Structure 1
């Protein structure tokens, strides 16, 4: 019974994720709509990451989180592997809080 529940939850989770991918392949949009749709992931990431940088790193020292975010952004802009941006950000926050 547990296995059927897990399989059912997997199917219910996958359908809303795969359905838009199949529907979007068959449709074409104007160029400005495509530009707008391509910008959504960056906007969503910014909305999720920025408050965490400001509040959750060190609530009494928001500049530490901002410094870690700036280091991660600079490393990411150099097109280096994303793991180095994460490691650089972590090291920056660690060194600033020692």
Structure 2
């Protein structure tokens, strides 16, 4: 291993705690916008998902709503 002992620096521990989440977000965000036929439908689905999650919707409702938004926007 690179570091054998316990890391005592609070800043470094906090930084290392958030690295996996930041890495996942950096990989996921561009895919949300480019996975659809138009970036507009991806952006609208992203906004829908953020708003529904913010107001406490379940993961199933958020994902189903995002899929529905993409479908309806690309249908138009």
- The normalised TM-score by structure 1 is 0.59
**Rg bigger for which structure?**
1
Partner residue in 2 for 1:39: 18
Aligned length: 74
Partner residue in 1 for 2:67: 90
Aligned CA distance change for structure 1 residues 35 and 57 (closer, same or farther; 3 Å): same
Comparing both structures, which one devotes a greater share of its residues to helix? 1
- The normalised TM-score by structure 2 is 0.72
User: Structure 2: where are the runs of 5+ without partners?
Assistant: none
Moved over 6 A (4+): none
Between 1 and 2, higher relative CO (CA 8 Å, sep ≥ 6) is seen in: 2
